[in-house]
Amino acid sequence: MSVVTNTTTIGAIDAPSRRNTELVLLAFAVAIPVFAYLNVGLALDGEVPSGMLGYGLGLGLMASVAHIVVRKFARYADPLLLPLATLLNGLGLVLIWRLDQSPRLNARADFAPQATNQLMYSALGIALFVGVLMILKDHRVLQRFTYISMAAALVLLLLPLVPGLGADVFGAKIWIRVGGFSIQPGEFAKIVIAVFFSGYLMVKRDALALASRRFMGLYLPRGRDLGPILTIWAMSLLILVFENDLGTSLLFFGMFVVMLYVATERTSWIVMGLLMSAGGAVVVAQFASHVQSRVAAWLDPFGCLETAPEGSNMINACDQMTQVLMSFGAGGTLGTGLGQGNSDLISFAANSDFIFATVGEELGLTGVMAFLLLYGLIIERGIRTALAARDPFGKLFAVGLSGAFALQVFVVAGGVMGLIPLTGMTMPFLAAGGSSVIANWALIGILIRISDTARRPAPAPAPSPDAEMTQVVRP
């Protein structure tokens, strides 16, 4: 669906806003999770779950508020983004609630039901979404904050390393604890750093693209232009080494390379990026034991379960991987049905990092493919927004956010399905975790804002008195 704009000088034809399309899709996006909720209740207890009405109304209300705000403040926004996010969020809530009912998980000391919290965080996320649309009237305003964003992103990323504030949860130092809440600053840093990259690259793109020497078919940038990419690379490695966070590190570096490529249109950046991440990975793998265990668990989970030393970090990683794989296997083509699988055997982090395994087991191949396509749609709508955006900042910003989203989905789903080594990251909207859902709603809010600007028809030219004159037929 391309933007219908009239390019003649006579005037603009009002492009369809597609708000009603969005409304109909939203109705589906609310109805499907409500049915899923009913399904879980029937499968687990044989009766209609008592919270169904409340849940349905809650989700419906949040969707309605979001829709009304979009109607009012972003009339021309992409009609698919909001329903897709609502659907994923709603289904995520159902999956988390389903795992809350598991006696096996409830028997664990480190498990607490998450559905209510997640609902609250989703509401906060929608609130932030609304806030973004209401306050951020034009995304180009963010250009002004290029370097502040950089500082903010660095602070956010390094916060977990601050003693007393950072919390080391199960080996990864990616949380901070404020009051009773734990926050993953990395999720928010994802958006903030995209602002910095867009602003920076928009200004420097010509220098990076043109002032370079050709060497063996590659354009090598000048030393002084190489500074930023080296900095980002080093920072990614630092995150990896000190915060034990493979996912975030990969995400930031990947996002930077994507944006650099889009800004400069030079393939050599991609090649360099790949070489640098490969180099970094090899170096880090030499001494980071958790990376080694994850690679071992990825290469041969069942085998390493037997060879890994008893009680080691590696045996846990391998055991977890085998449980996840068997969960997917148990799902088969059609899945066991919601509430009827045993994905809770994964135990630790079943409802956060590994929630996709529950999808695999209970909804099967069909369900997983549907979910992947939903994510794929969000990503492609985001890139489409970048294509349609008229300003380079908007283009870079949109592609940065979509690229980060795509990488996150790939890294998490690929890790859980054993396509790549596992990294501890959350499936956007699906996994339990406040920071993730809030940050991703903000991300969708920004994409909607950019798409609104991109699809808004050009203002009608001011009526020209001269033109009018020529139309007058004098007798």
Partner 1 sequence: MNKPLRRIALFCGILVLALLIRDNWLQYVRADELNTHKLNRRVQIERYAYERGNIIVDGKPITGSVETKGSDFKYKRTYTNGPMWAPVTGFASQAFDANQIEKLEDGILTGNDDRLFFDSTMAMFTGEKKKGGDVVTTLDGKAQEAAFKGLGDKKGAVAAIDPQTGRILALASTPSYDPSVFAGNSLEDSENRQKLLTDKDKPMVNRALRETYPPGSTFKVVTAAAALENGVVEDIDAPTDTPEPYIIPLSRTPMKNSHGNCEKASLNAAMEVSCNSVFANLGDKVSRDKMVETAQKFGFNNAEIDTPVRASASVYNKTMDRGGNALSSIGQFDTAATPLQMAMVTAAIANDGKLMKPYMIDQLRAPDLDVIQTFEPEEMSRPVSQENAQLLQQMMENVVDQGTGTKAQIKGVTVGGKTGTAQHGVGNSKRPYAWFISYAKTDNGSPVAVAVVVEDSSGIARDDISGGGLAAPIARDVMKAVLDGKE
* Of the candidates 44, 41, 76, the residue with the CA atom closest to the CA atom of residue 56: 41
Q: Which of 60, 90, 247, 403 forms a contact with partner 1 (CB under 8 A)?
A: 403
CA distance 228 to 256: 10
Q: Which of 402, 423, 426, 453 forms a contact with partner 1 (CB under 8 A)?
A: 402
Candidate ranges 55-63, 275-283, 368-376, 446-454; the one touching partner 1 (CB under 8 A): 368-376
Largest CA distance in the chain: 102
45 touches partner 1 (CB under 8 A)? no
Candidate ranges 33-41, 137-145, 151-159, 398-406; the one touching partner 1 (CB under 8 A): 398-406
Q: Which of 409, 438, 446, 447 forms a contact with partner 1 (CB under 8 A)?
A: 409
E strands, 36-188, where? Answer: 166-169, 172-178, 181-183
What residues have CB less than 8 Å from 172, skipping those under 6 apart?
Answer: 243, 244, 245, 424
261 touches partner 1 (CB under 8 A)? yes
Taking the least distance from each CB to partner 1, the nearer of 189 and 326 is: 326
CB of 141: closest distance to partner 1 in angstroms?
A: 21
Binding positions for partner 1, 453-472, rule CB under 8 A: none
379 touches partner 1 (CB under 8 A)? yes
Query: Taking the alpha carbons of 323, 324, 326, 331 in that order, is the dihedral positive or negative?
Result: positive
Taking the least distance from each CB to partner 1, the nearer of 288 and 365 is: 365
Query: Phi and psi at residue 351, in whole multiples of 5°?
Result: -95, -5
CA distance 97 to 93: 6
Which amino acid would we find at residue 240?
A: L
Task: Lay out the site mask for partner 1 across 265-304 (x = CB under 8 A, - = otherwise).
Answer: x------------------------------------x--
139 touches partner 1 (CB under 8 A)? no
Q: What share of the chain is helix, strand, coil (3-state, %, to 5)?
A: 70, 5, 25
Task: Lay out the site mask for partner 1 across 75-104 (x = CB under 8 A, - = otherwise).
Answer: -----------------------------x
Which amino acid would we find at residue 122?
A: S
Q: Give SS3 for 458.
A: coil
Helix (H) or strand (E) run with residue 219 in it: strand 218-221
Binding positions for partner 1, 411-440, rule CB under 8 A: 413-414, 417-419
**Burial grade of 374 (CB within 10 A; 0-12, 13-18, 19 or more):** buried
CB of 198: closest distance to partner 1 in angstroms?
A: 11
Q: How many CA atoms lie within 13 A of 20 on its CB side?
A: 1
What residues have CB less than 8 Å from 145, skipping those under 6 apart?
Answer: 195, 199
39 touches partner 1 (CB under 8 A)? no
Q: Give SS3 for 213.
A: strand
CB of 316: closest distance to partner 1 in angstroms?
A: 15
By CB under 8 A, the count of residues binding partner 1 is 49
Binding positions for partner 1, 326-365, rule CB under 8 A: 326, 328-333, 342, 345, 360, 364-365
CA distance 433 to 122: 10
CB of 305: closest distance to partner 1 in angstroms?
A: 7
Binding positions for partner 1, 98-137, rule CB under 8 A: 104
Residue numbers of the site for partner 1 (CB under 8 A)? 104, 258, 261-263, 265, 302, 305, 322, 325-326, 328-333, 342, 345, 360, 364-365, 368-369, 372-373, 375-376, 379-380, 383-384, 386-387, 392, 395-396, 399, 402-403, 406-407, 409-410, 413-414, 417-419
